[in-house]
Amino acid sequence: MEAIDDGEETTHEHEHTHNHAHEEISADEELKIREEVGAFSFKALHKAKDLVKNGAKLIDVAEAVEAYVRENGFDIAFPLNLSIDSEAAHYTPMLSDEKIFNGNVVKIDFGVGKKGILGDCATTVDLSGNYQKLLDATEAALSDAISCVKAGVPVNQIGKSISEAITSRGFLPIKNLGGHGVRVHDLHSDPFIPNFDNGDTTKLEEGDVIAIEPFATQKGRGMVGNGDVVEIYSVRYPAQTRSSVSRLIMGRIIEKEMVEPFALRWFKDMVKSRFELHAAMRELEKAGAVEPHPMLVELGGGIVSQHEAEVEVEKGGCKVLTK
């Protein structure tokens, strides 16, 4: 998802200052891969959904699903997000994470990639049994938004349909999160798709690929801020650092051509402890080599629900890719 910074201009969550060479592929091949990536993103999302149960460890779910993606010949568009209760997004299990699911509302946000073509989809699981109406609100908002997508529609109209679906059910849309365009090797590009009528009359164009992701909260403020957990980063450009661990990590990033966002636990074989890993990442961040993507938390402590689909804009409607 994309976040808006304190009501100012929209800021891309995964802004990169570097360019990546990617294979030239024909429009026909891109369409074929996009459909394949969308379908497998949805399949992987539902594999994760089946594993999210009370008593299960978050890290076991994340490692199983990410391994499943790699075993099937896909890349990971971004680490599996398992954000619970008032966490809206960007919680991925940390190294040696002992956290288990225990009656939580769990946002599962995930996508796969191939040749830089990326999928993005999300769903929410209520393990408490108390928040089904909240989940129904974001699901209905997504459905309403999809039904109004076609070439020429301004993005604020999509935001209006999302907001109406959520508020009519007694909940608040989260106003500083929204959907986004999806391009090759760029999961969060223009246009920004708001979750309310923000007055932006940018029109969708035929062939645009966008992710629509309504977020709603119960008894919250309808806004998110950065939490104190950072387990997801993306690379900006290679940089020289002093510590051997940070140099090893940067070497791995370059060797594996890690263009998309990554989880710190993916480097577990290179460090002795979580402390050593975080120290190395702080050094890389200070050098400008990586960009952090902190966990996002509802500012009023409200429980959050999310649903998301990736669609391709057509002349008279849209095609859902993540299904």
Question: Which residue is catalytic, options 208, 213, 283, 312?
Answer: 213
- 6 flagged as catalytic: no
CA torsion through residues 82, 86, 88, 91, sign: negative
In Å, how far from its chain's centre is CA 295?
Answer: 11
Question: Which residue is catalytic, options 188, 283, 293, 310?
Answer: 188
- 200 flagged as catalytic: no
220 three-class SS: coil
> What residues have CB less than 8 Å from 287, skipping those under 6 apart?
239, 240, 241
- 260 flagged as catalytic: no
Question: Which residue is catalytic, options 75, 260, 308, 310?
Answer: 308
User: Cβ distance 56 to 64 under 8 Å?
Assistant: no
> Under the phi-then-psi rule, with left for phi > 0, alpha for psi from -120 to 50, and beta for the rest, what region is 211?
beta
- 213 flagged as catalytic: yes
Supply the DSSP symbol for 204. P
Task: Quickly list H helices, 98-257.
Answer: 132-147, 155-167, 244-255
Question: Which residue is catalytic, options 66, 87, 120, 186?
Answer: 120
Question: Which residue is catalytic, options 14, 90, 180, 293?
Answer: 180
Any idea which residues carry the catalytic annotation? 109, 120, 180, 188, 213, 308
